[in-house]
Amino acid sequence: MSIVTGSAVYLVLWWISLFAILPWGVRVPDQPAPGHAPSAPERPRLLLKAGVTTVVAAILWLFVEWLVTTDLISFRGP
């Protein structure tokens, strides 16, 4: 896999992982402050979630890279 293709695959995996990880541990306040959305989380912990997303996407990317290089599943024509 070329560096451009690998980067594109990683970017797609990162965004998919982010949307899967964002809801983890979300708690909404019982009494939101005036002017705040009632569905806004108390502590979103976005930096932690970005770090977890990066690690998960890297593991998934390594798996995809392994699939491509071992030809376990052929991604090329017949």
Q: Is 67 helix (H, G, I), strand (E, B) or coil?
A: helix
Domain ranges for the chain, please list them: 3-70
Q: What is the pLDDT of residue 71?
A: 76
Q: What is the amino acid identity at position 21?
A: I
Residue 43 per-residue DSSP state: -
Q: How much is the pLDDT for 51?
A: 97
**pLDDT tens digits for the chain (78 residues)?**
789 999 999 999 999 999 999 999 999 888 888 988 988 898 899 999 999 999 999 999 999 999 888 877 777 766
